[in-house]
Amino acid sequence: MRAVLQRVHQASVSVQGCVTGAIGRGLLVFLGIAADDTEQDMLYLTSKIAGLRAFEDQSGKMNLCLQDVAGSVLVVSQFTLYGDCRKGRRPSFADAARPEQARFWYERFVGRLRSEGLAVHTGSFREMMDVNLANDGPVTFLLDSRRLF
């Protein structure tokens, strides 16, 4: 699993003009799922996101996690995180999970974050979405359950 995390002042996602998920302060998480992802991949990422000290304390240091700042999470599925652009000009998505498998892990991922006590909102799986955000910082992190980066 891969995730791009953006610390935001606010973020929302809409489908055909209708908002399906919106948060104030928190993390916008773009989530990509690989064909060979397992429970361990999901647990690694959810644990990392729930405990990530991405928010500044009174000294200006990133020492606070989502729960410390009463932040929320907006999770948006994004299979293009597994787009391989190394050859040619058209990305290959051979490593991305098939839609049925991806939906399973996406729902487990969201459920696990909620079980951590986080307020979690979502986009719409397999839909074309418009994502709006006000990036805080900007602060952006890349996570990979295989620790490739």
Task: State the CATH number of the domain containing residue 115.
Answer: 3.50.80.10
Residue type, 129: M
Q: What is the pLDDT of residues 110-135, one digit of tens each?
A: 999 999 999 999 999 999 999 999 99
- pTM of the entire predicted model: 0.96
Q: What is the pLDDT of residues 15-68, one digit of tens each?
A: 999 999 999 999 999 999 999 999 999 999 999 999 999 999 999 999 999 999
Q: Which of 6, 79, 109, 122 is labelled catalytic?
A: 79
| Domain annotation covers residue 58 | yes
Q: What element of type H or E holds 6?
A: strand 2-15
| Domain annotation covers residue 106 | yes
**Is 80 marked active-site?**
yes
Q: Which of 80, 122, 141, 149 is labelled catalytic?
A: 80
| Overall number of domains in the chain | 1
* Residues spanned by the domain of 8: 2-144
Q: Which of 78, 109, 122, 125 is labelled catalytic?
A: 78
Q: How far apart are CA 134 and CA 6, in angstroms?
A: 9
Q: 43: how many CB neighbours lie within 10 A of its CB?
A: 15
| Domain annotation covers residue 125 | yes
Q: Is 17 left (phi over 0), alpha (psi -120 to 50) or beta?
A: left
Cα dihedral 5, 7, 9, 11 in deg (nearest 10) = 0
| Domain annotation covers residue 149 | no
